[in-house]
Amino acid sequence: MWRPAPTSATSAVRSSRLRRRAYRQPLSLRWPIACMRRRARVEYPQELRYTKEHEWARAEGGRIRVGITDYAQDALGDVVYVDLPEVGATVHAAQAFGEVESTKSVSDVFCPVEGAIVERNPLLDEHPELVNEQPYGDGWLVLVDPADPAAFDGLMNADAYRALVEER
For each of the domains in the chain, give its residue range(s) and CATH number, in order of start: 26-167 (2.40.50.100)
The H or E element spanning position 75 is: helix 70-76
Query: How far apart, in whole angstroms, are the C-alpha atoms of residue 16 and residue 117?
Result: 27
Strand arrangement, sheet containing 90-91:
49-50, 55-60, 63-68, 142-146, 115-120, 90-91
- Percentage helix, strand, coil for the chain under 3-state DSSP, each rounded to 5: 35, 25, 40
Q: Average of pLDDT values for 42-69?
A: 96
| Lowest-pLDDT range of 24-33, 79-88, 136-145 | 24-33
Q: Kindly indicate the confidence band of residue 42, based on its pLDDT and cuts at 50, 70 and 90.
A: confident
Question: What's the mean pLDDT in 16-32?
Answer: 46
CA triple 96-102-108, angle to 5 deg: 10
pTM, full prediction: 0.77
Q: Quick one: pLDDT at residue 54?
A: 97
User: What is residue 156's DSSP assignment?
Assistant: B
- What pLDDT was estimated at residue 106? 95
User: What's the confidence (pLDDT) of residue 147?
Assistant: 97
Express as a percent the part of the chain with pLDDT over 90: 73
- According to the model, what pLDDT value does residue 25 have? 47
Tens digits of per-residue pLDDT, 79-134?
999 999 999 999 999 999 999 999 989 999 999 999 999 999 999 999 999 999 99
Q: How confident is the model at residue 22, as a pLDDT?
A: 39
- Amino acid identity of residue 137, one-letter, is G
More confident residue, 39 or 121: 121
